[in-house]
Amino acid sequence: MNHITFPLWLLSIFMLTLTSCTLLKTTASTMKIGYRVAKGTVKGTIWVVRGTYELTKGATVLAYHIGRFTFEVVRAPLESPLTNDDIQTIDGLPVKEAIRLGRVKLAPYTVNGRHYVPMTVARAQTYEETGLASWYGEETRRQPGGVMTANGERFNPKGFTAAHKYLPLPTHVQVTNLENGRSIIVRVNDRGPFPSQHNPDSGKRIIDLSWGAAEQLGFVEQGTVRVHVETIQLQEG
């Protein structure tokens, strides 16, 4: 595979702060590391900040690039409602307490009395699946102050994010619409989709995309679509 090195100014990482919190006190602690994609899903060299995929202690906002996709991650206030209020416990704890303690990445959780166990990081690195995708998020626009994903991030319906029942949080995957060939990279930061009382089959869907991701893939109007989902693997270059 040929690797193209992008100019650093096109792929710079912006680490932001709110006045009440400090993300990084000095730029000296920000390390730019070159990565290449191991499985060929993204072309070229990717520049990221080591550890930037997760909000670190005290961090409020971060942003980074993977190829042509930009991700902004914002920590949601703990009082924010969850995108999926059917989640009852995470790691045996009340949901907000588990989020506060940072015990959500690989933690088992319960939804409507059913126990779910996420896959390991090693298993997630080779995850690949074909199945039905849906989208969510339109209803969250009516929530004043926003809503919270299962790992404590503020949900942005226009962003490129997704919910998955078993992947570690967060994980990046490439999702391809098998009907039109469009692909997008999304940040998996939430749990779902799950069976509902009015639609038990919804739990058979493999991924739930944000409205913004569904729009990019071209299936907002139809609601569901058959997709291929594949974990993005990065190797330090």
User: Which pLDDT tens digit goes with each residue over 68-86?
Assistant: 888 889 999 999 999 999 9
Per-residue confidence band for 143, with pLDDT thresholds at 50, 70 and 90: low
With CA atoms as reference, report the closest residue to 205 among 117, 134, 140. 134
d(CA 82, CA 76): 10
With CA atoms as reference, report the closest residue to 191 among 95, 127, 123. 95
d(CA 203, CA 221): 20
Which residue's structure tokens are 């998996």? Answer: 188
130: how many CB neighbours lie within 10 A of its CB? 12
* Tens digits of residue pLDDT in 147-206: 999 999 999 999 999 999 999 999 999 999 999 999 999 999 999 999 988 888 888 999
Strand, helix or coil for residue 158: coil
- Lowest mean per-residue pLDDT among 45-49, 75-79, 219-223: 45-49
Q: Does the pTM exceed 0.95?
A: no
> Please, is 148 exposed, middle or buried when counting C-beta atoms within 10 Å of its C-beta (0-12, 13-18, 19+)?
buried
Q: Which CATH class is domain 87-236?
A: mainly beta
**Cβ pair 174, 227 in contact under 8 A:** no
Average pLDDT value for the chain: 79
Annotated domain spans of the chain: 8-74, 87-236
